[in-house]
Structure 1
Amino acid sequence: MLDNIRSALFLPASNPRAIEKARGLACDLVILDLEDAVADADKDSARTAAVTAADGTWGERLLAVRLNGRGPWHDADLAALAGLSAIDLIVVPKVETPEYAEALAGRLARPLLAMIETPSGIYAARDIAGVAGVVGLLAGSNDLTSALRLPGGRAGLTLALQSIVLAARAAGIAAFDGVFNRLDDPQALEVDCIAGRAMGFDGKSLIHPNQIDVANAVFGPSAEELEEARALIAAATGGAERFRGRMIEAMDVDAARHALRRAGLA
């Protein structure tokens, strides 16, 4: 379901112009946000807007809603979203226990993206990833940075982020990198995306449409990678063998096929 997600754009469900614009954007996943991006006074109207928007046309991109965590609006969000089949995914903030994920998966009856945003969530990530109904983990890097009392940047988050990737891979589900906060620095965004891809993330969560093209370019296989993948698959005959000056084996063929699938070519 999430094999081809390179870019996941958060936008406030309280902003009707942003919702309409998002229907034509090049992101792979739109996340209508009921949580951090929405002021308290707008929570109820944002919830109604998200449900209404789910009935619209979203083309090839997937549609998700991020509900509010435990607190004043949590139960109302659950009631509104439960069984809403027009939504592809539900994004759940601050998941810290597998029991919480299990309870929401059973009640919502939709695939869940569990946000790992706290030290407790990091320690429980492996068990959370193994819950039936959880199809991906999403790094909440801003909250992790705050909770860990870090000065900023990726360096201090390395262990936490790698733990999210490891948990997702152990469970066979997707892993998405956290947001990049600077909106006017595409070069720094590219560096951040490259670091995330090198760490093993499948895609990037975003907070502005102008970040989409960079994320798609970095997390999508390049023309060179696709040519390499096709050539490797064609050359492989089984077992360990030489290919373009290096040794390859079955896992390299699997990786090549995965690259083609991400590009919609297999």
Structure 2
Amino acid sequence: MSKPFRPRRSVLYVPASNAKALAKVVSLTADAVIFDLEDAVAPDAKEQSREALRDYFLGHPTSKAERIVRINGLSGEWGGEDLLAARACKPDAILLPKVETPYDITGVAEILEETDASENIRLWAMIETPRGVLNADEIAELGLRSTARLDCFVVGTNDIARETGAKLIRGRAPFIPWLMQILLSARAGKLDVIDGVYNDFSDPDGFSDECTQAVQMGFDGKSLIHPSQIEPANAAFHPDENAIGEARSIVDAFSHAANKDKGVIALGGRMVERLHLEAAQKLLAKIETIGRN
């Protein structure tokens, strides 16, 4: 199943309870915004936050940024009302917290189907518990089923750290096996995958290093806690000029009449296959989409 590309280099959390933060969203250049009804909202502010979110979407029916609403878990006291509020807002996606089994996804997908929710409302999954990491492959398989609506994993490194006792040290050495396990699972299910937050927004060098690490690992973007992290994330996850130039050379070479039926050609002293052409076409389509946003 082919899914349209959406840039997700920078994915900013915005508390639905924070009126000033909501007002600033339209001026930001984040690729995606997660309107948070879960961790960032105090228990006594849940109902007020839902109303603020409804008002925001009514006042801003369209957006250049992809819009996602993170709800509380359906097993808790707030999740049901959160889901109804999120559905009414008609965001691009609903982010489910602490996903640990495929049913955590399919159960919500069934509710959306039964209530005639738009097919354009997709589901994202927080992978942020030991059980979620262990079951990431099984969960990601739902990405191959259109009825499951699943499009993206978001890594919750803070929760994983809390539940395992592993330390979020510079370089994240204890987390690398888990991060790669989540990423591999996502790719097997044709999902995008967003790296966890960097907690110290006053440390731009540390944030830059962690973005570089995430790019090298293969993540599509980074989840953010502060607007100051948007531009560095966009820059870090933007394909570099050398890669863009190489992609154009590959596409041009295969477009020549003599090469159109070949599976392998020589280009710049190396052998280039059709799989490289597909990757080059995907990269150029990505650049074109980013340029339109």
Check the 8 A contact 1:3/1:261 in 2, yes or no.
Answer: no
Deviation at 1:242, TM superposition (A): 2.9
Letter of the 1:251 partner, please give it: L
Q: How many Å separate the matches in 1 of 2:5 and 2:274?
A: 23
- SS where residue 132 of structure 2 aligns? helix
- SS where residue 263 of structure 1 aligns? helix
Give the counterpart of 1:168 among 165, 181, 186: 186
Give the counterpart of 2:152 among 114, 136, 152: 136
RMSD: 1.7
Check the 8 A contact 1:23/1:58 in 2, yes or no.
Answer: no
Matches within 5 A, 1:1-266: 1-55=4-58, 56-69=60-73, 70-82=75-87, 84=88, 86-108=90-112, 109=117, 110-131=121-142, 132-153=148-169, 154-236=172-254, 237=259, 238-264=262-288
Kindly name which structure, 1 or 2, has the bigger radius of gyration based on alpha carbons. Answer: 2
- Extract unaligned runs of 5+ from structure 1: none
Shift in CA distance, 57/223, structure 1 to aligned 2, threshold 3 Å? farther
Larger deviation: 240-249 or 250-259?
240-249
Deviation at 1:265, TM superposition (A): 5.5
Q: How many Å separate the matches in 1 of 2:50 and 2:14?
A: 13
- Extract unaligned runs of 5+ from structure 2: 143-147
Runs of 4+ in structure 1 off by over 6 angstroms are none
- SS where residue 50 of structure 2 aligns? helix
- Identity, % of aligned pairs? 39
Letter of the 1:80 partner, please give it: A
Q: TM-score normalised to the size of structure 2?
A: 0.85
Check the 8 A contact 2:5/2:289 in 1, yes or no.
Answer: no
Q: How many residues align?
A: 265
Q: How many Å separate the matches in 2 of 1:47 and 1:159?
A: 37
Shift in CA distance, 118/61, structure 1 to aligned 2, threshold 3 Å? same
Q: TM-score normalised to the size of structure 1?
A: 0.94
